[in-house]
Amino acid sequence: MDFSTLTLVVIIGCYFCHCLSTANDTITSGQFFRDPQTLISANGVFKLGFFSPQNSSFRYLGIWYLSDSNVIWVANRNQPLTINSSGLVQISVHGNLVVLDSNKRVVWSSNVTHIATNSTAKLLETGNLVLLNGVTGQSIWESFQHPSHALVPSMKFGTNKRTGEKVRITSWRSPSDPSVGYYSTTLEHPNTPEMFFWLNETKPYHRSGPWNNQIFIGSPEMSPGYLNGWSMMTDIEDETVYLSYNLPNQSYFGIMTLNPQGQIVCSWWNNEKLVQKMAMQRTVCDLYGYCGAFATCNVQSSPICSCLTGYGPKNVEEWNRKNWTSGCVRSEPLHCGEHTNASEVRKDVFLKLENMKVPDFVHRSDSLEDECKAECLENCSCVAFAYDRGIGCMVWSGDLIDIQKFSSGGVDLYIREPPSEIEKHSDTRRKKRFIIPVGVGVPIGMLILAGCLYLSWKCTDKSTGKIYSQRQGRNQKQVKLNDELPLFSFEELVNATHNFHSSNELGKGGFGSVYKGQLKEGAQIAVKRLSETSGQGLEECMNEVLVISKLQHRNLVKLLGCCIKQEENMLVYEYMPNKSLDVILFDPVKKKDLDWPKRFNIIEGISRGLLYLHRDSRLKIVHRDLKVSNILLDEELNPKISDFGMARIFGGNDMQTNTRRVVGTFGYMSPEYVFRGLVSEKLDVFSFGVLLLEIISGRKISSYFGCDQSLSLLGFAWKLWNEKDIQSLIDPEICNPNNVNDIVRCVHIGLLCLQNLAKERPSMATVVSMLNSEILNLPCPSHPAFVERQIASSAESFQQNNTAHSINNVTVTVMMQGR
């Protein structure tokens, strides 16, 4: 440090101590400040003072972050001061904080009764303005307890269970008028808390769906990217349930406001730079009860509203005119408890609806997952139930209102139906299920095989009320109404694949072959026929399939069902027309279709799918076998991760485990896994880094570089990185001056994922934030693993020895007995 920097440091230091010593974040009795003076929080980012909104000639006392265009609180929102009236803020003789106009008239007061002693007002570093008892120092009033239009970190947005008292956030009337507007939001139903948005305080216009400890289940757009840090707490002492959010650290700040149109707008800052501002979009289906009672709303269907199965429009003529207000009514009575025949009780059954926003007026019960259905079945007033791990058993009685079908997210909702209704509808229902286009899994794991065993065991064990058996002329089909996976008959799959004809074969791997098929209804499927031997414990697999069948994310391939017939075990997946990523990426002609935006979309999709596995699915899952051939592409080239055969589930707090069997694909496996059998989410992060380099370079991980071909792809990338020549790594198809900075940034993120030490690699959550540029400054990567050839060359030799098992010339998944 030379002399001049030292001087600078001293000067800056003194500047700060000066500021601190004369900190003006507080006023005490007898003190006041006047427009345009301000109070400034000790960290310098919040100010309390007078401001005028854009286009307004009035003055308001408010608190803002950085500049008065980011107002987080307004005091006299309904009693504005005129521009020349020179507002004044002071502690009144009664100890309240008050705002006076030029005639010394009180226009606003903190309005606390019985303040016995001197008080002081202080603007805290969180942006909270508190009024403190001058003697005891206790807080007697806080702006955070009386918010206006915005929610900021560490504010408690809550509802008192006992008194019913609520914190209400109310929009401005217009962008230039902070007075109380038409829209407001509160936290309702403290036992299953959800956010309600109100029009004129009384009419609900949107609800978020209940909180499941991670998200509001009726708001699938809530993604971890910007919802990082939300939590729902219960203050046991005063019986208050509240929502709050806490940011990862001091360098971040966020404001959530309710704008004058009733939309939520989120703004995020990092190091005082605005990094994101977004308004949550709503559709008509998000309008509370848009389709009326017993009807679902689906923006992707036409008409947008449809009655639930077993229900018909209350007023057909109105309904046909697309006036949905009256909703639907039951067309055939339920059987509940009815004994139509002395020897047979015709029990009601449940129809499963997937990806649903659950209706309003939920009752939560303590039933466990498998008791939830029985509880509903036994109570004749129960018309629907749903189960969510984070919430538990939810049941409904009375009108079902505000139901919505999402394309992804949401939960499974089970609607009570008389058995005759199901007979009528099961056929069309199945058809619908398969028309939804998605993709095909090529190599799939054996755990699903165990899933089939599990299901067949279930079928025979407790069939009553669980599985509805339907006889349909030629063959007997079993339609599972409310379990995770439907069963297909063997004949059905034989017909669909022309008796597993070789011309229908899509691929072959260590666990069996995959065939393309077409169901009679017309839907295309991919059928994985598993080979008979499997090394994994049955019990373990049973556990896993239950989990895997619950995974739902638009970047994960979907399992449609399975089939078991003695030794034959088959899995049915969505068919993916564009096959897997390697088919396009490594084809000199086809790769031209993958421009940079498409490749980035693929990279981002994979990262979101992985984030879901690692964190958001509520089960911690490590995929363990991520590679280009396991990334399938739908029509629009959106990526879907497939093959969960190797996936490993972690319990609650386990972060890492040791495995005796090392399975995976050479080149994609991280060093701690290859050498020590250590499995953690950082294994997938490493594989993701490899994928990233492959996607950007258009080269396989098994290619070699350098003059003597001694460098692996990772080594080559590292060499170019150090030579500051990353451009030479980029696939010429995508390399152009407009993209190059974005691509280099991606390579940078890739190198961070490939670092030798697992703990240095970022988590998937961080990777997603980095890709979205929520994190702007990336750390410098350290030396990656496997820069030299030896590991990769064993992949090569392995591949050569096993060409018989590998039709598409893809890398082969290997299994080694661990040490």
Work out whether strand 240-245 and strand 252-258 pair parallel, antiparallel, or are unpaired: unpaired
Distance (Å) of CA 31 to CA 18, 97, 480? 21, 11, 74
* 8 Å CB contact between 405 and 477: no
Neighbours of 124 (CB within 10 A): 18
* 8 Å CB contact between 559 and 572: yes
Closest CA to 255 of 9, 463, 62: 62
The stretch near ligand NAG (CB under 6 A) out of 63-71, 105-113, 499-507, 784-792 is 105-113
Phi, psi of 642 (to 5 degrees): -125, 180
Identified binder of ligand NAG from the candidate list 43, 117, 213, 428, rule CB under 6 A: 117
Q: Which two tokens stand for residue 634?
A: 């739908």
Nearer to ligand NAG, 70 or 813 (CB): 70
Q: Which two tokens stand for residue 334?
A: 């339920």
The stretch near ligand NAG (CB under 6 A) out of 76-84, 419-427, 495-503, 524-532 is 76-84
Work out whether strand 230-235 and strand 203-207 pair parallel, antiparallel, or are unpaired: unpaired
The stretch near ligand NAG (CB under 6 A) out of 80-88, 154-162, 673-681, 791-799 is 80-88
Nearer to ligand NAG, 107 or 455 (CB): 107
The stretch near ligand NAG (CB under 6 A) out of 36-44, 404-412, 684-692, 802-810 is 36-44
User: Residue 74: CB partners within 8 Å, gap ≥ 6?
Assistant: 60, 61, 62, 148, 149, 178
341 touches ligand NAG by CB under 6 A = yes
- Residues within window 749-778 making contact with ligand NAG, judged by CB under 6 A: 775
Least Cβ distance, residue 404 to ligand NAG (angstroms)? 20
Nearer to ligand NAG, 85 or 139 (CB): 85
The stretch near ligand NAG (CB under 6 A) out of 243-251, 253-261, 328-336, 346-354 is 243-251
Least Cβ distance, residue 66 to ligand NAG (angstroms)? 15
Nearer to ligand NAG, 84 or 503 (CB): 84
Binding mask 192-221 for ligand NAG (x = CB under 6 A): -------xx---------------------
Helices and strands, number each (H, E), in the chain = 16, 49
67 touches ligand NAG by CB under 6 A = no
The amino acid present at 296, given as its one-letter code, is: T
408 touches ligand NAG by CB under 6 A = no
Closest CA to 379 of 330, 416, 331, 423: 416
Nearer to ligand NAG, 96 or 296 (CB): 96
Q: Which two tokens stand for residue 397?
A: 């009685």
Identified binder of ligand NAG from the candidate list 13, 175, 337, 597, rule CB under 6 A: 175
User: What is the length of the chain?
Assistant: 819
Helical ranges in 671-776 per DSSP H: 671-676, 681-697, 713-722, 740-753, 764-771
Q: Which two tokens stand for residue 99?
A: 């705002």
173 touches ligand NAG by CB under 6 A = no
The stretch near ligand NAG (CB under 6 A) out of 246-254, 452-460, 682-690, 713-721 is 246-254
Least Cβ distance, residue 54 to ligand NAG (angstroms)? 4
Q: Which two tokens stand for residue 320?
A: 């046909």
Q: Which of 101, 286, 402, 625 is catalytic?
A: 625
* 8 Å CB contact between 761 and 787: no
Identified binder of ligand NAG from the candidate list 2, 20, 30, 741, rule CB under 6 A: 30
Least Cβ distance, residue 210 to ligand NAG (angstroms)? 16
625 included as an active-site residue: yes
24 touches ligand NAG by CB under 6 A = yes
Q: Which two tokens stand for residue 250?
A: 């001091």
500 touches ligand NAG by CB under 6 A = no
249 touches ligand NAG by CB under 6 A = yes
Q: What distance in Å separates the CA atoms of residue 798 and residue 793, rounded to the nearest whole number?
A: 8
363 touches ligand NAG by CB under 6 A = yes
83 touches ligand NAG by CB under 6 A = yes
Nearer to ligand NAG, 29 or 543 (CB): 29
Least Cβ distance, residue 321 to ligand NAG (angstroms)? 7
Sign of CA dihedral 524, 530, 531, 532: negative
Query: How many chain residues bind ligand NAG (CB under 6 A)?
Result: 42
118 touches ligand NAG by CB under 6 A = yes
Identified binder of ligand NAG from the candidate list 46, 51, 60, 108, rule CB under 6 A: 108
Nearer to ligand NAG, 212 or 379 (CB): 379
Identified binder of ligand NAG from the candidate list 160, 212, 234, 326, rule CB under 6 A: 326
Least Cβ distance, residue 491 to ligand NAG (angstroms)? 27
Is residue 458 within a helix (H) or strand (E), and if so which, with residue range? helix 447-461
Q: What distance in Å separates the CA atoms of residue 729 and residue 74, rounded to the nearest whole number?
A: 54
Least Cβ distance, residue 476 to ligand NAG (angstroms)? 18
The stretch near ligand NAG (CB under 6 A) out of 147-155, 320-328, 430-438, 570-578 is 320-328
* 8 Å CB contact between 650 and 657: yes
516 has binding-site annotation: no
29 touches ligand NAG by CB under 6 A = yes
Nearer to ligand NAG, 247 or 266 (CB): 247
259 touches ligand NAG by CB under 6 A = no
Nearer to ligand NAG, 384 or 564 (CB): 384
Closest CA to 558 of 592, 523, 522, 600: 523
Binding mask 445-484 for ligand NAG (x = CB under 6 A): ----------------------------------------
39 touches ligand NAG by CB under 6 A = yes
Adjacency order of strands within the sheet including 230-235: 157-160, 240-245, 230-235
Q: What distance in Å separates the CA atoms of residue 87 and residue 104, rounded to the nearest whole number?
A: 9
Q: What distance in Å separates the CA atoms of residue 14 and residue 389, rounded to the nearest whole number?
A: 55
Dihedral of CA atoms 304, 308, 311, 317 in degrees, nearest 10, equals: 0
248 touches ligand NAG by CB under 6 A = yes
Q: Which residue has the tokens 């499995």?
A: 679
Q: What distance in Å separates the CA atoms of residue 719 and residue 803, rounded to the nearest whole number?
A: 32
Least Cβ distance, residue 402 to ligand NAG (angstroms)? 17
Is residue 81 within a helix (H) or strand (E), and if so which, with residue range? strand 81-82
- DSSP designation for 728: G
Through-space distance between the first and last CA atoms of the chain, rounded to whole angstroms = 52
Identified binder of ligand NAG from the candidate list 191, 300, 301, 325, rule CB under 6 A: 325
Nearer to ligand NAG, 23 or 546 (CB): 23
* 8 Å CB contact between 78 and 179: yes
Neighbours of 272 (CB within 10 A): 12
Sign of CA dihedral 51, 57, 59, 60: negative
Helical ranges in 340-418 per DSSP H: 369-378
397 touches ligand NAG by CB under 6 A = yes
Nearer to ligand NAG, 33 or 650 (CB): 33
Annotated binding site: 528
| Interface ranges with ligand NAG (CB under 6 A) | 24, 29-30, 33, 37-40, 54-55, 82-84, 108-109, 111, 117-118, 134, 175-176, 182, 199-200, 248-251, 318, 323, 325-326, 341-344, 363, 379, 381-382, 397, 775
Annotated binding site for ATP: 528
Q: Which residues form the catalytic set?
A: 625
